[in-house]
Structure 1
């Protein structure tokens, strides 16, 4: 564990490096984020990141972080639960709550609870009412590398009051190391997706991908404007294939227990003036976010799968990222 930087409130941010199966991952306590991920036989990092902590307080606030307590958007920054209205921080154009608001998980400095050569565990206790969300949450995240270099992220949580809970990992991937997704192809294991309105809020329809620009059931080139949720299932289950990202020389297979996959092709990225791993800012299309999660705005759609975490229950999400050459 090494010192990475200091937050404005004086809190130290630590970086933990883990290794396994020829892969190396660097995890920061700030945001419980994956700051770097590399394979031994590949010269460049596979995930976008920065050596500058300040970047993660600005344009790179979601890069590699665990976002939540509810990933993606909540319409109007409000929802009803058990006949009670809750008002949240609206951090997107004053309209929506994005990734938990200004005090979401990505902006919290988590505590390291355990470290091993191939794994690191972190914990964050979210007080009741933070960002407008009910319930005190005990959230834990564990990154680990196995003997094949596969990276597994496990997120668990418990609460003392009913609360919406649907976190996600928000890393931006670039398998080419060129800051350009033009050579990438995407394959998503989904027959349906969620259409959205002008504020990127689901309309409530679950639509087939067939004969639409959202049909990635066979590998194909990326639409740079893509920013939609694909419906993988209607309930959490065992690990199952979610998607594959590939170039001519590398591939990344994603498996998850989650029911949705938000794909953001990075069309709006602009990290100026902060540098990325290569010393230059990232621009549009520099990386793609593949975010296993619940369906967006679930608290406001009774017909969507229920994302309410109850006292006495344990939430568990597992996602595996398997990168390989060839």
Structure 2
């Protein structure tokens, strides 16, 4: 165990114990043999903290969030560290058609549907079972027509903090009627430490030659655009802030980066999706997934008004998100990879965040 492990300061479990309706919220602690620690609440399946060492063995909590359940319930940013569903990202005008029937969802984001609606999976209380020191399993049944989606959907999510220093997130789901599904995870990362300044000097690589351009409402136009010779080319490690303010229509739509990248597909195993390096600390993160897309969001809507853990205010572009996913608005673009799930089939998705230290 690293000698600096004692510098990790855990949150009070009692601050997360609350009864909402007939469900109870609480806080779970995962730790691996490398000394990495993560705290997760069953309210929204939110990763509340993630403590990682730098090259000198000093630990920092690298995910944005709050120190109490009350703060999560009232926060302006409801998605810190959350599980997202039934449909991660946006659906145009909150409408989609399945087997000739139109379904109407909440329009909770500039006239469009975002992250599952008014009460997505980020705001439900999951049934939780801590299997061992490194593994937490969450379960939830999303009832037929909850938030407008058809089918009773049974979901199981497993968080595992492996001894290879990975936060592994696996999702399984089944349905009793045809539906759509696109689950993801929404941690806001700053590898220098949550609230410790800009992420624009973090170096980012995304294993994608194309991305899906969006309109002013951040809905995909349906086309694929090459990243080559544009502000969206992260095929080699590049500082996030190098081109974020470039005169590019897509960057103006997203107020910076808030776009889905089309991952280059491997023939075997998981896809390598992305890598982030924080040069000052040496903290490094790699992302692997079986999903076809990756949403890169650069913290453009953080404005300094949210006070998080340790009393720190989360300012503009002081966090990034890398959300493994199917493409936004896929049900309305038949040529995009399908998000349909039918009875008898099992949905499976995996996201691995691997943590390393560079010298």
Q: Could you say which TM-score interval applies, normalised by the shorter chain?
A: over 0.9
Give the direction of change, closer, same or farther, for the CA distance of 1:271–1:88 in structure 2 (3 Å limit). farther
How far apart are the structure 2 equivalents of 1:236 and 1:293? Answer: 18
Shift, 1:10, TM fit: 6.8
Check conservation: 1:239, 1:319, Cα contact below 8 A: no
Secondary structure of the equivalent of 2:72?
A: helix
How far apart are the structure 2 equivalents of 1:167 and 1:82? Answer: 22
Q: Name 2:225's counterpart in structure 1.
A: 207
Q: Name 1:139's counterpart in structure 2.
A: 155
Shift, 1:180, TM fit: 1.5
Q: Name 2:353's counterpart in structure 1.
A: 321
Among 295, 301, 304, the residue aligned to 2:333: 301
Check conservation: 2:172, 2:349, Cα contact below 8 A: yes
Check conservation: 1:161, 1:310, Cα contact below 8 A: yes
**CA deviation map 1:258-306 (0-9, x unaligned):** 110000000111463x532231221211100100000110011011111
Bigger shift: 160-169 or 40-49?
Answer: 40-49
How far apart are the structure 1 equivalents of 2:335 and 2:216? Answer: 21
Total equivalences in the alignment: 324
Residues 1:284 and 2:316 aligned together: yes
Specify which structure has the higher proportion of helix: 2
Q: Name 2:46's counterpart in structure 1.
A: 33
Check conservation: 1:52, 1:275, Cα contact below 8 A: no
Give the direction of change, closer, same or farther, for the CA distance of 1:88–1:233 in structure 2 (3 Å limit). farther
How far apart are the structure 1 equivalents of 2:41 and 2:25? Answer: 7
Check conservation: 1:51, 1:275, Cα contact below 8 A: no
Bigger shift: 1-10 or 200-209?
Answer: 1-10
How far apart are the structure 1 equivalents of 2:201 and 2:19? Answer: 37
Residues 1:257 and 2:270 aligned together: no
- TM-score, normalisation: structure 1: 0.94
Give the direction of change, closer, same or farther, for the CA distance of 1:235–1:109 in structure 2 (3 Å limit). farther
Q: Name 1:181's counterpart in structure 2.
A: 199
The structure with the larger Rg is: 2
- TM-score, normalisation: structure 2: 0.86
**CA deviation map 1:190-210 (0-9, x unaligned):** 000000000000000011111
- Please, what is the CA RMSD of the aligned residues? 1.9
Bigger shift: 224-233 or 29-38?
Answer: 224-233
How far apart are the structure 2 equivalents of 1:9 and 1:61? Answer: 19
Shift, 1:39, TM fit: 2.1
Residues 1:127 and 2:160 aligned together: no
Q: Name 1:150's counterpart in structure 2.
A: 166
How far apart are the structure 2 equivalents of 1:110 and 1:185? Answer: 35
**CA deviation map 1:77-116 (0-9, x unaligned):** 01000000000011113x1110000121001010113431
Check conservation: 1:170, 1:289, Cα contact below 8 A: yes
Among 81, 84, 90, the residue aligned to 2:107: 90
Name structure 1 gaps, 5 residues minimum: none
